[in-house]
Amino acid sequence: MKVALFSLMMNVPNAVTGESWTAQQKFQNVIDQAILAEELGFDAYGIGERHGEPFLSSSPPLC
């Protein structure tokens, strides 16, 4: 059996504190999760592509 983790990179404020992460912090968190998943032996880590708030784009435009 293969097991994977999946993220939609949802970036919403903390329900208790109201604090929000910057896009950079959220991207770093996703990278850290993927590294941890590999270390723990997961077979894959996927990032879905969503459009619009509160999701971050997995392939943001470059300026």
pLDDT of residue 57: 64
pTM (2 decimals)?
A: 0.71
Q: Are 56 and 9 in contact (CB under 8 A)?
A: yes
Residue 2 has a pLDDT of 92
Q: Is 45 left (phi over 0), alpha (psi -120 to 50) or beta?
A: beta
Confidence at residue 6, expressed as pLDDT on a 0 to 100 scale: 87
* Domain around 48: 1-63
Structurally, how many domains does the chain consist of? Answer: 1
Residue type, 48: G
Per-residue pLDDT of the chain (63 residues; tens, 9 = 90+): 999 988 888 878 889 999 988 888 988 998 999 999 999 999 999 887 766 676 666 565 666
